[in-house]
Structure 1
Amino acid sequence: MTGDKRYLKEVRSYSEGCVTFGDGVKGMIKGIGKLANPGSPCLDDMLLVE
């Protein structure tokens, strides 16, 4: 999960639901994609949240 679209590739729109962070704050899901950060594991279905 990230709030920065630059870390994702092949992002597609996804506008259903929200996530709740540890402090109780909610974030809306805006997209879903693949992690594109060199040096990081290859992960699919990463959420883009606002």
Structure 2
Amino acid sequence: LAYVEWFTPFAKPVMPLRMSEVSYSSRNGRLMGEVIEVSSIRRSCHMVPKLGK
């Protein structure tokens, strides 16, 4: 089993880095996460925080 935190779908890449922005998925102000079977995981991805503006 694995705990997964859900994020919004990928948006259009932001230039000049050509990286997509995502944010935590939430419902009624609560972050979405759940325990799933490892066999359900299609792939992983690396996420880099956006610091400052």
Q: Same fold (TM over 0.5)?
A: no
The structure number with the bigger radius of gyration is 2
Output the TM-score relative to the length of structure 2.
Answer: 0.24
Output the TM-score relative to the length of structure 1.
Answer: 0.25
Question: Which protein is richer in strand relative to its size?
Answer: 1
